[in-house]
Amino acid sequence: MRAPYGLNILDNCLTCPVREEHLFCNLSVHAGQRLNEIKSTAVYPKGAMLFIEGQQPRGVFLLCTGKAKLSTSSREGKTIITKLSEGGDVLGLNAVISNRPYEVTAEMMEPGQANFIPRDSLLQFLKEHGEVALRVAEQLSRNYYTAYEEIRTLGLATSPSEKFAKLLLSWTTKTTQTDGSSQVKLTLTHEEIAEIIGTTRETVSRLFSEFKKKQLLALKGSTLVIRNRLALEKIVQS
Amino acid sequence: MRAPYGLNILDNCLTCPVREEHLFCNLSVHAGQRLNEIKSTAVYPKGAMLFIEGQQPRGVFLLCTGKAKLSTSSREGKTIITKLSEGGDVLGLNAVISNRPYEVTAEMMEPGQANFIPRDSLLQFLKEHGEVALRVAEQLSRNYYTAYEEIRTLGLATSPSEKFAKLLLSWTTKTTQTDGSSQVKLTLTHEEIAEIIGTTRETVSRLFSEFKKKQLLALKGSTLVIRNRLALEKIVQS
DNA sequence: TTGCGCGTGTGATCACCATCACCGACACAT
DNA sequence: ATGTGTCGGTGATGGTGATCACACGCGCAA
């Protein structure tokens, strides 16, 4: 089965490769089948908007493949990116549950597939399957936790260098080698990094220069190499 | 029935004056009775800590009377207040549901009464009463929304004056007179206001001076009078 | 080739606000 | 009356990061 943008389509949640790990992905057979009935699937190109901040919630998106960024903007055009999402994440859940406008904009950064569940169908589904409602509550409280991480970063970590170091570390917690170095493929522009840590493009550029000079990191093509993890951790809690 | 600190004790959720409005306060008779069985109640003085950031979640607190502030701090001692809670609010819900440490510290600002529900009892209760689990999910998503408001304020509203104006407006949305003026009792210190908007005590003091000079507000004793709401709104979105 | 858009590097400048310092007002206890 | 603690006002100063400006390299299309 082929699709636009050169992707393979996953047409069944029951055989989805990420199904073990995430919300809606490891349900009872009965609930899983019901879920399959009420969802539809689509493939989105880079730059596609799944939903936009302020829109009434139409439903939730289960991101299967690809990457998306969640962001919120002020009227004057300043933007902050609050989360980068990958396969398995559920987008739009809060807006749907509370029936308030989407609090963020979800834009595809890499093409990918997402399942869509309309709001009414989901709420009905949750009423029928009370055990899933509790899992939804758990997911929401996890979202809340990450939101609080964001609040702490924005409100307590003062300097851009501290936030930058924090971000670098968050990228490499999973991929650390035994010698303390680690590598990450760098897919974000400086502008996007600036929107994550709440500063300007120029400052990010200078931070890269500064950290390179201090031997904290290096760049091999588009691959970021962390050279001195301990020094970064010291900056974070300084 | 009398209690310490000159407060009347409410000994039954079924007759609580705020019961109509909030989570856990308008349940079916059966659920309500069950809730009464698993809760305990206590009265707290000013300054009492209901729970502290980082502690394992013991349970949730239903604040009946009094006021509490929720805050989070960095190792270096910088603190931000993320929410002011009043009667009817549920504190600690996220930590209990997700079984992670409390993400904030809850401290009583005015003496008051709170009901306590141990974690295990609550989870058991939610399993027995699936309809309440969905209401918990709704509450969590509301919490999430207010967290996002905070993120926007911290990340997008740049200058202290903008955040200050925003805070003033948030205090007076409920109490606006027809002539555009409004009054609020001011119970916070400058220090606390500074911790809400993420600045210093001195800056808050200067902001008060500046806004008074610009006829945006006035102080009658400890009562804050908003004199020019439109100008404040202009500052916010400037 | 030329032009264009985009991402990046970097210098110069300047407003803003955190910080330090100090003072006065007030409440409260002894 | 005298201390003590908390709170609020305000001046001086310095660092920092946003802003503006410009140049470079690259991919891509006409």
Domain count, chain B: 2
Interchain contact, A151 vs B100, CB within 8 Å: no
The one-letter amino acid at A69: K
Residue B85 sits in the same domain as residue B178: no
User: What integer pLDDT is reported at residue A15 of this predicted model?
Assistant: 59
Judgement on whether residues B17 and B132 belong to the same structural domain of the protein: yes
Predicted local confidence at residue A34, as pLDDT: 84
Q: Phi/psi class of residue A221: alpha, beta or left (left: φ > 0; alpha: ψ in -120 to 50)?
A: left
pLDDT given for residue B157 in this prediction: 76
Q: Greater confidence, A145 or A35? A: A145
| pLDDT of residue A169 exceeding 50 | yes
Residues B134 and B168 grouped into a single domain: no
C-beta of residue B181 within 8 angstroms of C-beta of residue B229: yes
Domain final residue, candidates B128, B155, B182: B155
- Residue B161 has what pLDDT? 95
A88 and A134 part of one domain: yes
Last residue within a domain, chosen from B155, B186, B212 = B155
d(CA B81, CA B100): 20
Question: Using CA atoms, how far apart are residues A196 and A191, in angstroms rounded to an integer?
Answer: 9
* Candidates B72, B94, B237; nearest CB to A144: B94
Decide which of B151 and B12 is more confident: B151
Asked which of A109-123, A124-138, A150-164, A205-219 is least confident by mean pLDDT, the reply is A124-138
Sort out which chain A residues have CB atoms less than 8 A from B74's CB and list them: 152, 156-157
A183: enclosing H helix or E strand: strand A182-185
Q: Are residues B75 and B134 in the same domain?
A: yes
Quick one: A106 and A8 in the same domain? Answer: yes
User: From CA B132, how far away is CA B124, in angstroms rounded?
Assistant: 11
Summarize pLDDT for B179-196 with one digit per residue, the tens.
667 889 899 999 999 999
What does the pLDDT look like over B86-101, one tens digit per residue?
888 999 999 999 999 9
- The string of pLDDT tens digits covering residues B190-220 is 999 999 999 999 999 999 999 999 999 999 8
Separation CA A18–CA A115 (nearest Å): 13
Asked whether the beta carbons of B39 and B62 are under 8 A apart, the reply is: yes
pLDDT at A20: 47
The answer to whether B144 contacts A147, with C-beta atoms less than 8 Å apart, is yes
pLDDT of B20 over the 50 cut: no
- For residue B41, the domain's CATH number is 2.60.120.10
Residue B59: band (very low, low, confident or very high) from pLDDT cuts 50, 70, 90? very high
Lookup: tokens for B55 = 């502690």
Grouping H, G, I as helix, E, B as strand and the rest as coil, residue B235 is helix
pLDDT tens string B128-160: 887 788 788 888 888 999 999 999 988 887 799
Q: DSSP 3-state assignment of B47? A: coil
Same domain, B54 and B84: yes
Average the pLDDT over B95-114 and give the result.
Answer: 93
Question: Which of B148, B158, B198 is closest, CB to CB, to A147?
Answer: B148
- Stretch among A46-50, A64-68, B175-179 having the lowest mean pLDDT: B175-179
Residue ranges of A 48-87 with Cβ closer than 8 A to chain B? 72-76, 78, 80, 82
Q: Are residues A127 and A42 in the same domain?
A: yes
**A194 plus A90 within the same structural domain:** no
- Residue B176: which CATH number? 1.10.10.10
Q: Which residues touch strand C (CB under 7 A)?
A: A 189-191, 201-202, 205-206, 208-209; B 158-161, 198-200, 202-203
Chain CA centroid to CA A20, Å: 18
Give the CA count within 13 Å in the CB-facing half-sphere of A133: 24
Q: Which residues contact B96 (CB under 8 A, 6 or more apart)?
A: B57, B59, B60, B119, B122, B123
Q: What is the mean pLDDT of chain B?
A: 86
Q: Indicate whether A176 pLDDT > 70.
A: no
Q: What pLDDT shows up at residue A94?
A: 92
- pLDDT score of B209: 96
Does A118 share its domain with A172?
no
pLDDT computed for residue A81 by the predictor: 95
Residue from A97, A135, A149, A151 whose CB has the most chain B CBs within 10 Å, to mutate: A151
A56 and A76: one domain? yes
Instruction: Identify the helix (H) or strand (E) that includes residue A118.
Output: strand A112-118
Residue B130: C-alpha distances to residues A34, A132, A221, A236 (Å): 19, 10, 53, 43
Domain limit, last residue, from A127, A155, A183: A155
Token duo for residue A24: 């809606």
Rounded to whole angstroms, how far apart are CA atoms A62 and A52?
16
Q: How far apart are CA A164 and CA A224, in angstroms?
A: 13
Whether pLDDT at A11 is above 90 = no
What pTM does this model have? 0.86
Full residue range of the structural domain in which residue B140 is found = 4-155
What is the pLDDT at residue A2? 47
A217 and A191 share one domain = yes
The string of pLDDT tens digits covering residues A57-110 is 999 999 988 999 999 999 888 999 999 998 889 999 999 999 999 999 999 998
Q: Assign residue B85 a region (left: φ > 0; alpha: ψ between -120 and 50; beta: otherwise).
A: beta
Q: Name the 3-class secondary structure at B152.
A: helix
